[in-house]
A = this chain, B = another copy of it.
Amino acid sequence: MFLRIDHVGIACNDLEEKIAFYESTFGLTVVSREVNEEQGVREAMLHVADGDGGASYVQLLEPLHPDTAVGKFLARRGEGVHHIGYGVADVAKAMEEIAGQGVRLVDERPRHGSMGAAIAFLHPKDTGGVLTELVQAPRDNGH
């Protein structure tokens, strides 16, 4: 079902500072910046690698307000890994298969993710404490 580790989603207090850190320390390159009002985040995607199943990224997330999912995460646990996104070919089909295994979905239907992807989150209580995201990349961005 999984085609790739699409991204590691990392919550941070200062997006620009963390971008500069990942660029200078690890040599990663920003390929996209977005504000996702629905998810309450300002974010950047930094390219790590290309693979048979698509590309892999580090996703840096800064909350737009303290009263957002990422804002509450930062208040509770501090900066760190917020979620893991895995690439799938068909997010709706994957959601159906996973729900059929008894795993609760955070999203009832796919929603908009980074760089035009269709995404859905699985409930971390049913996935061993790992907030897990399914990512179907758009067909025209090289995935």
When each residue 1-21 of chain A gets 1 if its CB lies under 8 Å from chain B and 0 otherwise, what string results? 111110010101000001001
C-alpha gap A124/B80 in the complex (Å): 9
The reply to whether A49 and B130 form a contact with Cβ atoms under 8 Å apart is no
The reply to whether B3 and A49 form a contact with Cβ atoms under 8 Å apart is yes
How far, in Å, is A121 (CB) from chain B's closest CB? Answer: 14
Q: Is A64 an interface residue (CB 8 A)?
A: no
Given that A27-B2, A56-B4, A56-B5 are known contacts, is A18 also in contact with B128, CB under 8 Å in the complex? yes
The reply to whether A80 and B129 form a contact with Cβ atoms under 8 Å apart is yes
* Copies of chain A in the complex: 2
Q: Is A30 an interface residue (CB 8 A)?
A: no
How far, in Å, is A25 (CB) from chain B's closest CB? Answer: 5
Q: Is A69 an interface residue (CB 8 A)?
A: no
The reply to whether B2 and A5 form a contact with Cβ atoms under 8 Å apart is no
The reply to whether A52 and B50 form a contact with Cβ atoms under 8 Å apart is yes
